[in-house]
Amino acid sequence: MSLQRVAIFGATSAIAQAVARQLAAKGVRLHLVGRDPAKLEAVRADIAARGSAGVSVTLADLDETARHAALVEEAEQSLGGAMDAALIAQGTLPDQVACEHDFALAEREILTNFVAPASLATHLANRFAPRGTGRIVAISSVAGDRGRASNYVYGSAKGGLSIFLSGLRARLNATGVGVVTVKPGFVDTPMTAAFKKGLLWAAPEKIAKGIVSAMEHGGAEVYLPWFWWPIMFAIRHLPEAIFVRLKI
C-alpha cells in the first residue's frame, strides 16, 4: 500500500513520534491526536519540518471514548480525504503494586490500554469497511501474551486488546481492510526511564521502522524486534506449575 494520508492517535508517545518522523520523510500527510497541548505542538512543528505533505492536529483525551466517532471524522476532514492507515498508539505503563491495592487505578489503566483503543479500532473499522480499504495498526505488547505477577494489570489490558484485534481482523477479512497487532518488547522511552536496560531493549526508531512496514505491507501480528516471537512462544508454552514460580 502506498501511504498518502495517515492518522496517529496517541501521537506524543516516543514510538508514535518516531513513526510520524519516518512517515513525514516519505512525504505522507499526517493528522496527529494527543492530549498534551505543549507536546502535541512540539511534535507538529517537528513533523512539519521533515518533509510531510501536511500535518494537522487535534487535542483530545482518548480515554473519552464518547468523542471517538467525531475524532475519526475530523481526522479524515483534516487529511482532505480517506485515510490509508491509522495508528492507535495510546498507552500507559501502570504502577503494578499501586494497582494491586487500589482497583480504581487498575480500572483506569484498563480503560487507557484496552477499552479506549478497542473503541477507536471499532470506529475506524466501521468507516473503512464500506469502502473496502484501509489499514488499522494498533500497538499492543508482548506483555499481553501471558499474565505475569510483575505486570498483570498492564498485561491483561494488552492481552485483551490483542484478542479484540484478532477478532476484528477476522470480521474484516473479506472486506479488504487490514488489522495489524504490533507487539513490542522492551522499548527505551521516557515511560520506561526507571528500568535497567539490557540486550533485549530496543530504540523507538527501530520499533517505528517495523510499524511503518506493517502499515505499508500489512500482516496479522508483528513482534518487534522479531526475536520476541520465539521468546514469547517459549513463555506461552511453559507449564503453569513452572511459570508461576518464575520471578518475571
Give the residue numbers annotated as catalytic, written as ranges: 154
- Beta-carbon contacts of 177 under 8 Å, excluding residues fewer than 6 positions away, are 125, 128, 129, 132, 133, 134, 135, 136
Dist CA 94 CA 102 (whole Å): 12
Count of positions (residues) in the chain: 248
C-alpha cell at 46: 517537528
Dist CA 103 CA 173 (whole Å): 37
Using alpha carbons only, what angle is made at residue 191 by residues 26 and 52, rounded to the nearest 5 degrees? Answer: 15
